[in-house]
Amino acid sequence: MEATLRVLNELEQAGVVSRYAIGGAMAATFYAEPVLTFDLDVFVVLPQTRGGLLTLEPLYEALRARGYCEENECVNIEGVPVQFLPAYNALLEEALAEAREMMYEATPTRVLRAEHLVTVALQTGRDKDRERVRLLREAPFDPDYLAGVLARHGLGERWHQWQP
The footprint of other proteins (CB under 8 A) covers: 1-4, 6-7, 9-10, 12-13, 26, 29-38, 71-72, 76, 78-81, 101-102, 104-105, 107-110, 138-139
Q: Which is nearer to other proteins, 85 or 139 (by Cβ)? A: 139
Minimum CB–partner distance for residue 56 and other proteins (Å) = 20
Minimum CB–partner distance for residue 40 and other proteins (Å) = 8
Minimum CB–partner distance for residue 92 and other proteins (Å) = 18
Q: Which is nearer to other proteins, 77 or 155 (by Cβ)? A: 77
Minimum CB–partner distance for residue 157 and other proteins (Å) = 28
**What values do phi and psi take at 141, rounded to 5?**
-140, 165
**For 15, left (φ over 0), alpha (ψ -120 to 50), or beta?**
left
Q: Which is nearer to other proteins, 27 or 149 (by Cβ)? A: 27
81: which strand partners?
A: 76
